[in-house]
Each structure stands twice: as C-alpha cells, then as structure tokens.
Amino acid sequence: MTEAELQALSGRLKPLPRHVGIIMDGNGRYATRRGLPRSMGHRAGTERLRGIIRLSSDLGIEALSLYAFSTENWKRPKPEVDTLFSIFMEYFIKEVDALHKNNVAIRAMGDIEALPEKVCRECLAAMEKTGSNTGLKLNIGLNYGGRAETLHAVKSIAGDIISGKLNIEDIDEGSMMQRLYTSGLPDVDLVIRTGGEKRLSNFMLLQSAYAELIFTDTLWPDFSDECYIAALEEFAHRNRRYGGLEGK
Ligand code: FPP
C-alpha cells in the first residue's frame, strides 16, 4: 500500500480503536476442512499474524492483543499443546528481528513461567529486545486467562497492603488496572473473535469492559487484511456511549 493509500484508508477508518484484542479461533477447522492435521491450521494462523500486525502498525493503532494460548488450552491433547509451544518458539525466533525493525514492542500477557523453559526464554528475550520500542504495543496472551490475571492483581495488592506499602483507601480503579498485564495501555476498544463462536472465553475481561465486540464466522487463517479493515470500518460506525446518553 502506498503512503497516499494508507492515508486515505486511515481517514476512512476514523475513529480508529486505540487498542484491539483478537481471539484467533478456527485454526483447527481450517485444517480439518482441508484434510490436514490441526497443526497445519495453527501454522496457517501464525502466517496471518504478519499482515494483521503490519496493518495495525501502519494505521497507528497503539496496541494489539492476541489470544494465543489460554489457561484452558492445557486441556487439549498433549501433542497439540506441544505443537503450539513449538510454533510460539519458532515465531519468536523467526519474527522478532522484523518486528523490532518495525518498532513493535512485544509483551507477554500471562503466566509464562509455567510454559516450557525454552518457550519462556524466547519470549523473555523478545520482550527484552523490543521492550523499549515506541511503535505498536503487541501483547501476546500466553497461558493467559482474565480471571487468573485478576487473581494475580488481587494478590499483588494484598501483598502491598500486608507489607504496609499500600492503604486500602488508596486502592482505586486506576491502581487496580495498573496491576494487570496491560499496565500503562489504554482499555481495549474493539474485540474481534473469528471462528463463529460468540463469547469472550476469559479474554481481557476487565480491559474489555466497554469494548465493542465483533464476531465473524471467518476462520482465523482466512481472516485477511480486508476482513480486518471491514471490522475496523464497522467499529468506526458504532455509537459508543459508555453508559451515558447520546450527544450528552
Ligand atoms: C484457536 O483455534 C487457536 C488457538 C488455540 C491458537 C492460536 C494460535 C495461533 C494463531 C498461533 C500463533 C500465535 C502466535 C502468537 C505465534 P482452534 O484450534 O480452537 O480452532 P477450532 O475451533 O477450529 O478447533
């Protein structure tokens, strides 16, 4: 896309969400429908990340949060879980330099210490390398669950109260949100879920309190740049009132 085309596109998509969250569902079905093993669907889904990240970054979206592995995904058969871990590791090894060049800052959301050591190490290395970049904030949900995240925040607050660093009266919504993995980032404005299901599945529950929700039947590996643009366009036309009244 030329600079002029990009300008025209971002003009058409105003207001853009500051923070987009994506529940990337449908990899398994994408593969099964083609008579392929599910792992091929996850690989095809990983290929789609490049375009979506690029477009988010080019349009000037501040943050993109991706649900890659939930706290519930451990229930899948071990070979599939192991394949996903290999894919994450390969992704960090292969893509980090390009993301770094594009000024993308990677952050893991979730309890990554519970992941296999090699995956955790690559993830930490990616965060270390790109952490001070000033472009798109790319949050990757790995062993992530909204309830586990909330529990983590509650424990951290309780610890600070016990040690005398914090008074109960000083806890407010802002200080609570700062204890989440997305500390310092704006709330999620738009959640997109591919793959036909219409639920949040424990994804960014507090950050998405006022998010617009877009559910599409398109399977994640088929979710093209054009599909993403159409979702952003739909978002631009939504009427957000945050509990207030129109025009007030
Ligand atoms: C859901 O599809 C998808 C996942 C559990 C994994 C999402 C992971 C990727 C797109 C891989 C790459 C991510 C990174 C960050 C490298 P599903 O298996 O539930 O599909 P189904 O509902 O059709 O079975």
- Residue 27 C-alpha to ligand 1 middle, in angstroms? 5
What's the pLDDT score for residue 126? 97
Inter-axis angle of helices 38-59 and 78-101, nearest 10: 30
Strand partners, 70: 144
217 is catalytic: no
What's the pLDDT score for residue 247? 54
Rounded distance, CA 230 to CA 245, Å? 27
Q: Which of 23, 24, 198 to mutate to test the pocket of ligand 1 (most atoms within 8 A of CB)?
A: 24
- Residue 164 C-alpha to ligand 1 middle, in angstroms? 43
Strand segments (E) across 110-206: 137-144, 190-193
Rounded to two decimals, the pTM is 0.96
What's the pLDDT score for residue 120? 96
What's the pLDDT score for residue 182? 97
What's the pLDDT score for residue 136? 98
25 is catalytic: yes
Q: Name the stretches of the chain with pLDDT < 50.
A: none
What's the pLDDT score for residue 69? 98
92 CB within 6 A, ligand 1: no
